[in-house]
């Protein structure tokens, strides 16, 4: 089961934040990935990235040792962790966040609204799914060129991100 939500908050200590995310991930026995929502173009962007990452693990074609990191690579459209973090990693301060929850390969997962609520409360985040809605600025931040934007009608812009996610399999 994959669940994607948007949130806003203030992160002052990135290392502590990720340490706590990892601890909660272990406690709830789920995968939690946190991504800069300013480079996310809709929930389908992250659902697709998660599905690709899960498939890579199932087919033993994963590049990393954790599903969370594999999701990060696919979500960024990059193959190198360093570049992925630079592109879609969260920064210190007031941020828009995309949270991806995956109940490891379970169809009827444990990612309940209660768990999501506890995590939001723990980090003093406010749920705001609107931060996941992308626009042309989002696409440009993601690295989509003006030329690429001109190849598809506006109502198909989301496909450009999904294409970048899928291309990660090709550039392995």
**Summary mean pLDDT of the chain:** 90
Architecture of domain 2-170 in CATH? 2-Layer Sandwich (3.30)
CA distance to 26, 93, 105, 140, 164, per residue, from 41 (Å): 28, 22, 24, 11, 12
- In the sheet with 31-36, reading across from the earlier edge strand, the strands are 31-36, 93-102, 2-11, 126-127
Domain ranges of the chain: 2-170
Q: Tens digits of per-residue pLDDT, 68-80?
A: 999 999 999 998 9
Q: Tens digits of per-residue pLDDT, 103-138?
A: 865 555 567 788 889 889 999 999 999 999 988 899
CA-nearest of 143, 147, 140, 146 to 164 is 143
Report the C-alpha gap between 158 and 127 in whole angstroms: 23
Q: What is the pLDDT of residue 132?
A: 96
Q: Global pTM?
A: 0.89
Q: What is the pLDDT of residue 28?
A: 87
């Amino acid at each position: 089961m994959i669940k994607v939500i948007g949130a806003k908050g203030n992160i002052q200590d990135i290392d502590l934040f990720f340490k706590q995310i990892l601890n909660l991930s272990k406690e709830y026995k789920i995968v939690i990935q946190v991504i800069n929502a300013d480079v996310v173009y809709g929930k389908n962007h992250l659902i697709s990235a998660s599905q690709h990452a899960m498939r890579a693990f199932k087919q033993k074609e994963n590049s990393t040792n954790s599903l969370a990191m594999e999701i990060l690579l696919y979500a960024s459209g990059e193959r190198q962790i360093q570049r992925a973090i630079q592109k879609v990693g969260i920064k210190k301060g007031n941020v828009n966040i995309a949270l991806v929850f995956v109940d490891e390969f379970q169809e009827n997962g444990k990612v309940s609204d209660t768990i999501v609520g506890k995590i939001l409360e723990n980090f003093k985040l406010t749920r705001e799914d609107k931060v996941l809605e992308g626009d042309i600025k989002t696409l440009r931040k993601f690295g989509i060129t003006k030329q690429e934007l001109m190849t598809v009608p506006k109502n198909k812009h989301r496909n450009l991100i999904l294409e970048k996610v899928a291309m990660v399999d090709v550039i392995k």
